[in-house]
Amino acid sequence: MPSKPPPAFSDLLAGCTRSAVHLEMRDSYAVDYETGPFAEWRAGHRLDPDDRSSWWRPWLSLVEDTTARGVVIRRARIVSEPVSEYTRFLHSFTFTNVAAGEDVRWLPRRQASTIALPGNDFWLFDDHTVYWNHFTGDGASAGGEVSNDPTAAKLCSEAFETVWARATTHDQYTIH
């Protein structure tokens, strides 16, 4: 019997009542060097802090709606230093995530060596539902997977909290 596809991410976030945490551990994700936001950034385009309508929608609207319901959203990024060009790109617009209500921190990979980390990026909703993000070798999405396994949720929670405690807030993190 084939496994059913995971619920839509927006549905998982909509069902969240207390917290949603996200751990990112890759130095690049599905980079399109020819078109799109990364290519535009490479050509010199930067988001205007005063033009909220030009920011990454519908994601930021979903964050604003979720945090307005009282859900705390935290994102931690483990990054190699010196950082990749893609990480520079991410850092350049993370102010939009923060403005929408996410709390974001950065941890240099060398400071994560003693942390037991899951093998994949993940979201953890209300400390019990894990949404694994699977990627191909070149960073393209290979789909998601949902788990309600308490052992997986505990691993993700402990890993995230340890990363969070060691990481630097977005406004204090300097790109190296």
Query: Averaged over 170-175, what is the pLDDT?
Result: 96
In angstroms, the CA 176 to CA 164 distance is 19
* The model's pTM: 0.93
Q: What is the model's pLDDT at position 4?
A: 64
With 90 as the cut, is the pLDDT of residue 5 above it?
no
11 falls within a domain: no
Which domain CATH number covers 129?
3.30.870
Q: Strand order of the sheet with strand 102-108?
A: 141-147, 129-135, 121-125, 19-24, 72-79, 102-108, 168-169
The angle formed by the CA atoms of residues 170, 139 and 14, to the nearest 5 degrees, is 60
Whether 106 is covered by a domain: the verdict is: yes
Query: Could you count the other beta carbons within 10 Å of the beta carbon of residue 169?
Result: 11
Residue 148 domain flag: yes
Least confident segment among 6-10, 141-145, 152-156? 6-10
Q: In the chain, pLDDT over 90 holds for what percent of residues?
A: 77
The pLDDT mean for the chain works out to: 93
Domain that holds residue 147: 19-169
Which pLDDT does position 3 carry in this prediction?
58
pLDDT category at 24 given cuts 50, 70, 90 is very high
Distance, in Å, from the CA atom of 138 to the CA atom of 50, rounded to the nearest integer, reads 34
CB atoms within 10 A of CB 92: 14
Predicted confidence at residue 7, as pLDDT, reads: 87
Q: Is residue 176 part of a domain?
A: no
Cα distance between residue 15 and residue 82, in whole Å: 38
For the chain, the domain total comes to: 1
Tell whether 13 is covered by a domain: no
pLDDT tens digits, 25-80: 999 988 777 888 889 999 999 988 888 877 777 888 999 999 999 999 999 999 99
Q: DSSP alpha helices (H): ranges in 26-147?
A: 36-42, 59-68, 85-100
DSSP designation for 103: E
DSSP reduced 3-state for 28: coil
Supply angle C-alpha 85, 143, 36, rounded to 5. 40
pLDDT attached to residue 41: 93
- pLDDT digits 0-9 by tens, 121-133: 999 999 999 999 9
Q: Please check whether residue 40 lies inside any domain of the structure.
A: yes
Residue 95 lies in a domain: yes
Mean pLDDT confidence for 8-17: 94
Burial of 54 by CB count in 10 Å (0-12 exposed, 13-18 middle, 19+ buried)? exposed
Residue 174 lies in a domain: no
* Mean pLDDT score, 89-116: 96
φ, ψ at 129 (rounded to 5°): -110, 120
